[in-house]
Structure 1
Amino acid sequence: MPRVLSSEDVEDFRRRLCVAAEGLFAERGPEAVTMRELATAMGVSPMTPYRYFQDKDAILAAVRAAAFTRFAEALEAGMGQAGDPIVRSRQAGMAYIEFALAQPQAYRLMFDLNQPTEADYPELQAAVARARRTMTVHVEGMIRAGLLEGDAEMIGHMFWSVLHGMLMLQITGKLAPTIDPQTLRRQMFATLLRGLGLPEP
């Protein structure tokens, strides 16, 4: 008879399973990974993961929710440091870059993947909304300070789109060998900031 698991046991196994799944999902794509392979990676029987998750899609949702939460925490910490609105915006950008380059597997599962069932997982939806909020809150600060005019959500998505595109090209090795990623980011944002009437970094 299987022993009764405490809530701590359940959360610990779920966390460890998500860590193992993140690597497999990012390496091979969620579609190519089976529940049996996830069980093998954990050193447990093929049916054990089903005691903790309904199916593979639920595991993917949990993996992505955890990644979005870590991402949001990193950007919130960057924006929480002392400084004027422009400094806080730059700190948010640096936190974004550091997260993407330090955790490329998580980053790709967050933004380079379409999970059609996302709406079925409230925890994932909340994590996505929290992360999306970090894309605009620093812009709102600059608007309130009179440093910037316009729609905060649109401007936030402009910054986000540019930064994401550059980082994905870097992470996937698609930049030309002659292009230095840091120089590209610096020149791209200098151009964008000039257009918005903000001082260059």
Structure 2
Amino acid sequence: MLLSTHCAHCPSVLNSLAELVKQGVLGKLEVINLEQRPEVARQLGVHSVPCVRIGPFELTGQRSLAEFRQWAQTSATHEGVRDYIETMLAEGEVERVLTMIAKDAGVMARVIELLDFADEKLNVRLGIGVIMEEYEGRSLLQEYIPQLGKLTQHADPRVRGDACHYLALTHSSNAREFVRKLLHDENADVREVAEESLPTLR
């Protein structure tokens, strides 16, 4: 945990984390006061406190004991990573997710999984779009053509349309067959996306 002496939220966050250590949910807790060690903030790229890192998760601001327990208990699971990504995107923290992908390319699979939930918040879907555009034409996105291709068969036309658009961003001929099938989709919007996407897949 990174804190500062004059932070209003740091004491309650520290108490929550200490309680999780006492309960055995967390194995250890390292606390650094950035007013005494400002170089740590520069090294880690931290701009605000409290800042807590639990496994691959970085959490800033006021969080409840229940939230910290959830993140601690799920930090090593695919579902936990996906839930964390959803939370970060909902809060507008796209850069945080991009940093995770840069460290672990497999995180992209969890981002794509979020498309499968048709009732996602608008911020989440917009955030997914920003991430996909960041990797347009790059090999990492091309690796996930099969996963995106499977979503072109989703029951929700919005998911099919999104998957089709992101397949187009791969610029790979390997995505062409998935997109071509959507030219005959029952939904007019999906057909339109497919028609616009196909020329980009040479």
* Bigger fraction of residues in helix: 1
Of Structure 1 and Structure 2, the greater strand share is in 2
> Of the two structures, which has the highest relative contact order with CA contacts closer than 8 Å and spacing of 6 or more?
1
